[in-house]
């Protein structure tokens, strides 16, 4: 069990205070996701706009209890994500920042590329995107068909293809696109793309939940890619494509699990706030939900600590994502039962929580993918009876 020290407890307390702004704006942003543009001055939005940028590139985040948290550690991100998603997940995913793309930059970019990317992020709040999934291919990244035609003496390399379900792409200024330069798994590369660029078009999709994320579809036709925009050019081919996005997901998965955990906690707290008297059976159900939330938090923190220690192969993180996504769904549905028929019509916050929770299964891969990753760990012996996951309170899930 991970015990938070005074430093991390101070971080949690401060971010929880910042969350009050998110909670106040959540329903309005759900109606108009572009409302976030009017609130770049909020402390949480300012923090998220540079979260993940290492200090050596000039990042100076807001000090908290005499400490600076750069968001480069998974446990820090998990604490931040839980608190802000509990306040309002729409505001969290609507906020600009480098998060997913920034982790890939840290893994793949050379120093010149890092200076350029982080420098752009520090100049002003920018949205970024991470484009991997393609239409009709789902999470089968190995089958992607977006291509980069190599440069010739007369023109630069040209990027063409389509991506789908890409967060914030419609309003992002920078992003990374995975594309194929040759057949086979070693033929996948990541390239940096600026928006606007000739031939690049992103359009927001209508979604039921997580509307703040402006989940988008991208089409690209002969987008020019300069040589310095190819990530991992200093690395071997085996560390540029599929390895890179798998590592990115493993590093960020505890944070995604923490987002789902925050949604579950928000549903639980909503019931506590709005039901002043409970029957015995209702108290029992609410207590059970609280125990499930506590158990999921322990697993999320264990997974985050494993990521920070660079131990394991992402199996704990996959377990945390599966459990938390299911918990978000169950908790929001359970919360509705405390308010009778028509709960979602009469309680718009609950309605939003239900809709947002449904999307958590699909963020950075479906829960079926995470279960496969988890089962591989169990069957290969990389998770065993001595692993912390096996001693976590699975019975209440």
CA distance 21 to 268: 20
* Percent of the chain residues topping a pLDDT of 70: 90
Q: Mean pLDDT score of the chain, rounded to an integer? A: 90
Average pLDDT value for residue range 188-210:
96
- Of the candidates 195, 320, 209, 198, the residue with the CA atom closest to the CA atom of residue 261: 320
> Residues 333-392: pLDDT tens digits?
999 999 999 999 999 999 999 999 999 988 865 444 444 444 444 444 444 444 433 333
Return the structure tokens found at 231. 């990530």
Average pLDDT value for residue range 130-135:
94
What CATH number matches the domain at 6-123, 3.60.110.10, 1.10.540.10, 2.60.120.10, 1.10.150.20?
1.10.540.10
| SS3 assignment, position 268 | helix
> Residues 291-303: pLDDT tens digits?
999 999 999 999 9
Return the structure tokens found at 74. 């998974």
CA distance 265 to 269: 6
pLDDT of 166 reads: 96
Which class for 56: exposed (0-12), middle (13-18), buried (19 or more C-beta within 10 A)?
A: exposed
> Residues 139-158: pLDDT tens digits?
677 789 999 999 999 999 99
Kind and range of the H or E run holding 176: strand 174-180
Predicted confidence (pLDDT) at residue 11 exceeds the cutoff of 60: yes
Average pLDDT value for residue range 96-119:
96
Q: Report the sign of the C-alpha dihedral through residues 249, 250, 255, 256, in that order.
A: positive
* Residue 62, number of CB atoms within 10 A of its CB: 13
Whole-prediction pTM value? 0.91
> Residues 20-79: pLDDT tens digits?
999 999 999 999 999 999 999 999 999 999 999 999 999 999 999 999 999 999 999 999
- Domain extent listing, the chain: 6-123, 128-236, 242-380
Which class for 12: exposed (0-12), middle (13-18), buried (19 or more C-beta within 10 A)?
A: middle
> Residues 161-193: pLDDT tens digits?
999 999 999 999 999 999 999 988 889 999 999
DSSP state of 97: B
- Contact between 397 and 289 under an 8 Å Cβ cutoff? The reply is no
**Domain 242-380 class?**
mainly alpha
**Domain 128-236 class?**
mainly beta
Phi, psi of 315 (to 5 degrees): -70, -40
- Of the candidates 104, 107, 8, 122, the residue with the CA atom closest to the CA atom of residue 56: 122
Average pLDDT value for residue range 220-246:
91
Q: Which pLDDT band, with edges at 50, 70 and 90, does 308 fall under?
A: very high
Predicted confidence (pLDDT) at residue 395 exceeds the cutoff of 60: no
CA distance 152 to 325: 47
Predicted confidence (pLDDT) at residue 109 exceeds the cutoff of 70: yes
Kind and range of the H or E run holding 216: strand 216-225
Q: Which pLDDT band, with edges at 50, 70 and 90, does 394 fall under?
A: very low
- Contact between 351 and 90 under an 8 Å Cβ cutoff? The reply is no
pLDDT of 364 reads: 66
Predicted confidence (pLDDT) at residue 393 exceeds the cutoff of 80: no
Predicted confidence (pLDDT) at residue 80 exceeds the cutoff of 50: yes
pLDDT of 388 reads: 36
**Which tops the pLDDT comparison, 387 or 267?**
267
- Of the candidates 51, 126, 39, the residue with the CA atom closest to the CA atom of residue 90: 39
């Amino acid at each position: 069990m991970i015990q938070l020290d005074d430093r991390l407890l101070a971080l949690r307390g401060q971010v929880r205070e910042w969350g009050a702004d998110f909670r106040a704006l959540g329903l309005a942003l759900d109606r108009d996701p572009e409302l976030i543009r009017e609130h770049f001055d909020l402390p949480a939005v300012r923090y998220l706009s540079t979260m993940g940028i290492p200090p050596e590139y000039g990042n100076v985040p807001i000090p908290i209890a005499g400490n600076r948290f750069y968001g480069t550690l998974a446990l820090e991100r998990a604490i931040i994500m839980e608190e802000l998603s509990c306040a309002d997940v729409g505001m969290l995913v609507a906020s600009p920042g480098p998060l997913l793309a920034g982790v890939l930059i840290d893994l793949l970019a050379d120093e010149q590329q890092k200076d350029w990317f982080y420098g752009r992020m520090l100049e002003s709040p920018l949205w970024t995107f991470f484009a991997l999934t393609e239409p009709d291919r789902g999470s089968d990244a190995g089958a992607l068909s977006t291509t980069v035609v190599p440069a010739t003496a007369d023109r630069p390399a040209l990027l063409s293809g389509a991506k789908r379900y890409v967060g914030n792409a419609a309003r992002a200024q920078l992003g990374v696109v995975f594309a194929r330069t040759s057949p086979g798994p070693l033929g996948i590369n990541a390239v940096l793309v600026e928006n606007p660029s000739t031939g690049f078009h992103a359009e927001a999709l209508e979604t039921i939940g997580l509307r703040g994320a402006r989940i988008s579809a991208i089409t690209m036709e002969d987008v020019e890619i300069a040589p310095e925009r190819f990530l991992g050019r200093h690395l071997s081919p085996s560390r540029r494509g599929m390895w890179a996005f798998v590592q990115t997901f493993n590093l960020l998965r505890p944070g995604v699990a923490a987002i789902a955990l925050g949604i579950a906690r928000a549903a639980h707290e909503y019931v506590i706030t709005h039901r002043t008297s409970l029957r015995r059976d209702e108290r029992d159900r609410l207590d059970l939900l609280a125990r499930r939330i506590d158990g999921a938090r322990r697993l999320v923190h264990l997974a985050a600590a494993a990521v920070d220690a660079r131990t394991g192969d992402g199996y704990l993180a996959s377990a945390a994502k599966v459990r938390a996504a299911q918990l978000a769904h169950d908790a929001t549905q359970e919360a509705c039962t405390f308010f009778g028929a028509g709960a979602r019509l009469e309680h718009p916050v609950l309605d939003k929580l239900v809709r947002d929770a449904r999307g958590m299964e699909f963020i950075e891969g479906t829960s079926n993918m995470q279960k496969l990753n988890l089962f591989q760990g169990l069957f290969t012996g990389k998770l065993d009876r001595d692993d912390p996951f096996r001693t976590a309170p699975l019975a209440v899930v």
